Amino acid sequence: MNKTLVNLIITIVLAYIFSALGMDWWSVMLAASVTAYIIPLKGFKVFLMPFLGILLFWGLSAYLLSSANDFILAKQIGVLFSLGENPYLVILITGIIGGLAAGIAAIFGKQLRSLRSKS
């Protein structure tokens, strides 16, 4: 399996484990930076893989919770954010928020790793 995919999977798995342990939302940042540290990627992928991983993880979790309730609340949150009654947009934004946080935290993890490897 290539490193890119491993990074993606480990990020998701760690994020899942942290959430199951009852950790707060920023545990995705921890998951992404730890993964970036142990499985360093290169270039834009450093950001992109954890971004996609958490986007998928949060988006899917939100979708599952919301679809089980006919998206009642998601529609209202759409109105709250002036997006109209569009639950999918709210789910997408949820994913992007989590992904952004994870991606940026991964850059930090990677930088920490570069510090060690080159010294």
Partner 1 sequence: MKYLKLLISLVLTGAIFYGLDSKFGSIPPLGKFLNPYNGIWQNETDESIEGELIIEGLADEVIVHYDEALIPHVFAQNDKDLYRAQGYITAKHRLWQLEFQTYAAAGRLSEIVGEAAIEYDKRERRRGMGYGAEMAIEKMKSDPVTYNLVESYAAGVNSYINSLDPKDYPVEYKLLNYKPEPWTINKTALLLMYMTKMLAGGDDDLEYTNTLQLLGKENFDFLLPDFFDITDPVIPKETDWSYIDVPQTPTPFSELPQDTIAFKIAEKPHPDNGSNNWAVSGSKSYSGNPILANDPHLGLNLPSIWFVMQLSTPDHNSFGATLPGALGVISGFNEYIAWGETNATRDVLDWYKIEFNEDRSMYRHDGQWKPVTIRTETIKVKGGETVTDSVLYTHHGPVMYDINFMDDNPRSGYAMKWTGHMGGNNQKTFIELNKGKNYEDYVNALKNYVAPAQNFVFASTEGDIALWIQGLLPNKWEGQGKFLLDGSNPEHDWQGFIPQEFNAHTKNPERGFVSSANQHPVDEAYPYYVFNDGYETYRNRVINDFFNSKDSFDIQDFKELHNNNFNLKASELVPYMLEHMNKDGFNENEQRVFNEMSNWKFNNDLDEVGPSIWRSWWYNLYQMVWDELDSEDIALSKPYDYQTIYALTKFPEHDFMDIVETTDTKETAHDLFRLSFEKAVVNLMEWQEKNGAYNWNNYKGTYAGHLLQGLPAFSRFDIPIGGDRSIVNATSKNHGPSWRMIVEMTSPPTALGIYPGGQSGNPGSKYYDNFISDWAAGEYLELNFMPSASNATGTISTQTLKPLQ
Are the C-beta atoms of residues 47 and 36 closer than 8 Å to each other?
A: no
d(CA 64, CA 40): 31
* Identified binder of partner 1 from the candidate list 73, 86, 88, 89, rule CB under 8 A: 73
User: Whose structure tokens read 């893989």?
Assistant: 49
User: Which one of 7, 68, 88, 89 is in contact with partner 1 (CB under 8 A)?
Assistant: 68
- Using the rule CB under 8 A, which residue among 8, 10, 12, 33 binds partner 1? 33
Q: Is 65 in the site for partner 1 (CB under 8 A)?
A: yes
Q: Are the CB atoms for 103 and 28 separated by under 8 Å?
A: no
Residue 39 per-residue DSSP state: S
Matching residue, tokens 């199951």: 20
Q: Which of 58, 86, 88, 89: binder of partner 1 (CB under 8 A)? A: 58
89 touches partner 1 (CB under 8 A) = no
Stretch that binds partner 1, among 1-9, 37-45, 75-83 (CB under 8 A): 75-83
Calculate the alpha carbon distances from 107 to 1, 7, 13, 64, 112 in Å: 22, 13, 19, 29, 9
Q: Which residues contribute to the site for partner 1 (CB under 8 A)? A: 19, 22-26, 28-29, 33, 58, 61-62, 65-66, 68-74, 76-80, 90, 93-94, 97-98, 100-101, 104-105, 107-108, 110-112, 114-115, 118
